[in-house]
Structure 1
C-alpha cells in the first residue's frame, strides 16, 4: 500500500481545494509548459538532462524550481531540467527507484521512507517552520479550540502521524484526545461541508488562502501553539543516495540553481507568482491566488528571516536538523513510524542521516 504521510495527505487536499476554487485540473495529468529559460533543441544537446517530479499539482512550494528554469539558472549550471507530474506511486518512490532525479518532498517523508529501505536524501529545505493547520468550518460554532475536537470526527487520509498530532493538540488544550475518523472523499473542504466530519488538516500557505479568498471560512489552530514540538513541515528537494554517490556534481548544480530560484522568488514574490502561472501548464492556477499565497509565505517568513538571509547569517535552503528531529522524536514516541513490514519502529530516524547541506551555495 502506498505510504501516505502528512505532506502527501494534506497536499492532496490542497490540490482538490484549489480545483474547487478554480475549477478543473488533475494532479496526475499536469504537465509543465516550456519555460522561457528552456533551451533550444541544439543547445539542449550540450546540457545534461535531469528530471524534477512534482509532489502534487504545481504550487508555491515548487515555485523556486519554476523560477530557476524560467530565469535560466539551470541552463547556466549545465542542466536541461524537465519538470514532470507526480507519479502514481509518489515522488519519493520515483526518486528512490531512479524514475526521477529530484523531487519535492519533506524531511518527515525522507525519514519515513528510510525505514522502508529507500535511500532518499534531502539537499535543500525551503520551508523553515510548520504551515499545517487543523481546522473546522467557521460556521461550526461548537468548536472554539482543539479540546473541542474531542468526540468529533476527523477527516483523515489515514496517517498515524496526523492522529498523533491531533491527539497531542487536544490533550495540550485540556481534552482527552479521543475522536472518530472518516476517510476524506473528494477533498477535505467537501467532507467538512457535507457534515461527514467536523475538522481536518490544511496548509495555511495554500488551502488557508483558498478559504480566505473563496470560502468556506475556517477556524484554524496551529501545531506549535498546542504542544506539538519541532517542525513538521520541512518541505524541500530530495534526491537519491545513488545519485549523490554517482553524480555529485549534478546534485550540486541542481540544488544550487534551485536555491537561487527560491531566493529570487522570496525577493520578488509577485514576479515569481506570474512565472508559476505562465509556465506550470495548469489552468487551475489563478494569478491573484498564487500572489496571495506568496504574500502569506513572505509575510510569515516561512522560508526564513529575510534580514538574516540578506546579511548571510542564514542560508536559504538550510536543512533544519534540530527542529525536524524534535518532531520525528515526537512521532516515534506516538508509535507512528513503521518499517517495510508495517511493524512499529520505536526509534526515530536521524535527520542528519536523511539530509545534507553540503550541496547548498553559501
Structure 2
C-alpha cells in the first residue's frame, strides 16, 4: 500500500478538475390456542421493517487505519442504528473530493489542505469531523542518511510527486534553521513507495508515520522522522477529515447528523479497543497485512482524539493558521472563508 504517496494537494488538483418481511412464527396445532409468546412473535414478524437510507462513503485511498472507525461503525451496526445502509467505496480517477462535491458519494475522507484549496476554487465541500487531531505526517529518512533536522536536508535528494506544496514545506522547515533550500535536490519518484525510493537515489520523503513509519519498524528499517508540526503550529492541520457537500448539509442535515454520530461511535470504539478494531478492519479488507494493521492501529488509536474534548472536534484557529500558511507560500491566490470550510455542528455531544 502506497500510503506514503497520499499527496494531499495532488489529490485536490484531481478533484478540482472534475467540478421482507421477517420469518413467520410457527403456526399452533389445529384447535389449540396460541400462547401469548407465540402471538407476540407473530405480531413482531408482521411489524413493518424500518427502511434504511442508502449512503455511499468514498475513501481517499486504499483502506488503512485512518478508516478503521468507518469499518467498525458498519461492522458493529452503528450505521444501521442511525437508519443508514452504508457502502464504503474506493475513489474514482477524479478523486474523493470530486465525488463528494458532485454527489457521486454522500460522504468521504478528505484533508484540510485539499478542502482549503478546493473551496478557493469553488468546490462546495465541507469538513464535518477531524479523523486525527494532530498532523502525523513529516519527512522520513533511513537512519543511515543522518538527517535529524531540516538543516540536514542540505545537499540531500528529496523524492516526491511534483506538488508545489512539497517545495513550500521543505523551504518552510529549512527557514526555521536558517538552512538553504536551494541546496536540496528534488526528484519526482512517481508511484515508487518510500522503501523502494530510499534504496535507490533518494535520501528522504514525505510520509504518514501511522502506516509507513510503523511499517518501517516492522521491517526492521529504522528511520528518522521530522514531523511538520514540530516546526510550526501552522502545519499542525487536520489530515484526514470526514467531509460532505454543502448540498447535503442544506438539504439533509438529519442524515449528516446520523452519519457523523455513527462514525463517532466507530472511532470511539477504535480508541477504546484498538485490537478489536484492527481485527474488524482485517476481516473487512483481508488483503491487508494483519501485522501492519494491528501495529498501526495500536499506534494511531490514542491519536484519533488525543487532547480534544471529543473525537472529531475541529478548531477554527487550525483552519485559519494553515490557510494563512498556504497563502503566504503562494499555494492560494486569495483568503479562505474559514467559517464555511468546516463545521462541528453535526458531532454528537460526546463520542461515548
TM-score calculated relative to the size of structure 1:
0.79
Q: CA deviation at 1:212?
A: 0.8
Which structure 1 segments of 5+ residues have no match? 1-5, 13-42, 309-313, 338-344
Q: How does 1:102-117 map to 2 (within 5 A)?
A: 102-117=107-122
**Equivalence for 1:17:** none
Q: CA deviation at 1:170?
A: 1.4
Secondary structure of 2:7's match?
helix
Residue 199 (structure 2) aligned to one of 193, 196, 216: 193
1-side partners of 2:7 and 2:235: how far apart? 20
Aligned residues of 2:161 and 2:188 also touching (Cα < 8 A) = yes
**Are residue 360 (structure 1) and residue 347 (structure 2) matched?**
yes
**Are residue 327 (structure 1) and residue 327 (structure 2) matched?**
no
**Equivalence for 2:66:** 61
Secondary structure of 1:277's match?
helix
**Equivalence for 1:289:** 292
**Equivalence for 1:341:** none
2-side partners of 1:96 and 1:144: how far apart? 40
Secondary structure of 1:66's match?
helix
Kindly tell me the number of residue pairs found equivalent between the two proteins: 307
Secondary structure of 1:202's match?
strand
2-side partners of 1:110 and 1:10: how far apart? 9
Q: How does 1:1-362 map to 2 (within 5 A)?
A: 8-9=6-7, 46-141=51-146, 143-178=147-182, 179-185=184-190, 186-195=192-201, 197-227=202-232, 229-280=234-285, 282-283=286-287, 285-299=288-302, 301-305=303-307, 314-337=309-332, 345=333, 347-362=334-349
Which structure 2 segments of 5+ residues have no match? 11-47
2-side partners of 1:82 and 1:49: how far apart? 8
Cα–Cα, structure 1 residues 295 and 265, in superposed 2: closer, same or farther, change >3 Å?
same
Secondary structure of 1:52's match?
strand
Aligned residues of 1:164 and 1:334 also touching (Cα < 8 A) = yes
Cα–Cα, structure 1 residues 287 and 44, in superposed 2: closer, same or farther, change >3 Å?
farther
Cα–Cα, structure 1 residues 73 and 56, in superposed 2: closer, same or farther, change >3 Å?
same
Cα–Cα, structure 1 residues 353 and 315, in superposed 2: closer, same or farther, change >3 Å?
same
Instruction: Please provide the CA RMSD for this pair.
Output: 2.2
Cα–Cα, structure 1 residues 170 and 236, in superposed 2: closer, same or farther, change >3 Å?
same
Q: CA deviation at 1:11?
A: 11
Aligned residues of 1:137 and 1:216 also touching (Cα < 8 A) = yes
Give CA deviations for 1:254-293 in whole Å, capped at 9, x if unaligned: 111111111111111110000001013x41x122211211
TM-score calculated relative to the size of structure 2:
0.82
Give CA deviations for 1:180-200 in whole Å, capped at 9, x if unaligned: 2111232232122111x2211
Aligned residues of 1:172 and 1:226 also touching (Cα < 8 A) = yes
Larger fraction in helix:
2
Secondary structure of 1:148's match?
helix
Aligned residues of 2:8 and 2:113 also touching (Cα < 8 A) = no
